[in-house]
Amino acid sequence: MHYIDKETNDWPLSVDAIAQENPDWANPWLLPRYAPITEAAATIEYDRLTQKLAHKSVLDVIDGVHVWGWEAVPLDAQELAEMQAKEEARRQAQLEAMRLARRVTKRQALLALWDLCEIKESDILAVIDAVEDAGARYRMQVDWQGALYIEHDSPTVLLLAQALNITQRLGELFDYAATQ
């Protein structure tokens, strides 16, 4: 609990500080010159990315009671940098979770391609074989043939979707594949 010295307006004073100033009194914080400070609940709205809550620098007096309220203050440069780093890490984790949620097994992908577009794996392999750049072709072959999972945003999937003219249907295909 904190107190205010009504004669000097010093605050916040602890019980120990008041006792040191008044060593002759058993319970000096009960002297009429001291009034307890009620701490208000921190219920104000603020932007957690750019602000923090801090005690006000002045006390409110409500119905004769001294109330120490809260206010939103801007984060300092270090706090802002830390908050931005935390927010970026949270956002990246959320994106990674979404990315992993939008992956299917190769079997699921092939069934969806056949059921919705009548595209066979041989059609996919033909697209890969048609890639002129040997290095790019090899990377696509390894990516497609070695994949346990097909991810909707992988470079190989995006290139194959473009070549097979199904880019606009990727979301639908992955949603369907997830049910197979």
SS3 85: helix
pTM of the model: 0.48
- Assess whether pLDDT exceeds 90 at residue 42: no
pLDDT at 28: 82
**Of the candidate ranges 19-33, 34-48, 90-104, 134-148, the one whose mean pLDDT is the lowest:** 90-104
pLDDT at 101: 67
- Helix (H) / strand (E) element for 8: namely none
- Judge whether 34 and 62 are in contact, CB under 8 Å: no
- Judge whether 68 and 12 are in contact, CB under 8 Å: yes
Residue 33 CA: distances (Å) to CA of 12, 22, 79: 14, 12, 39
- Helix (H) / strand (E) element for 136: namely helix 134-145
- Judge whether 81 and 66 are in contact, CB under 8 Å: no
Q: What share of the chain is helix, strand, coil (3-state, %, to 5)?
A: 50, 20, 30
Q: List pLDDT tens digits, range 5-24.
A: 999 999 999 999 999 988 88
- Assess whether pLDDT exceeds 70 at residue 165: yes
Q: CA-CA distance, 58 to 70, in Å (whole number)? A: 10
| Structure tokens, 89 | 């890490």
Type of residue at 134:
A
| Structure tokens, 19 | 């006792």
Q: Give all strands (DSSP E) within the chain, no chain letters.
A: 2-5, 34-39, 51-55, 60-62, 65-68, 70-74, 103-105, 149-151
Q: List pLDDT tens digits, range 64-118.
A: 899 999 999 999 999 999 999 999 999 999 887 776 667 899 999 999 999 999 9
pLDDT at 38: 92
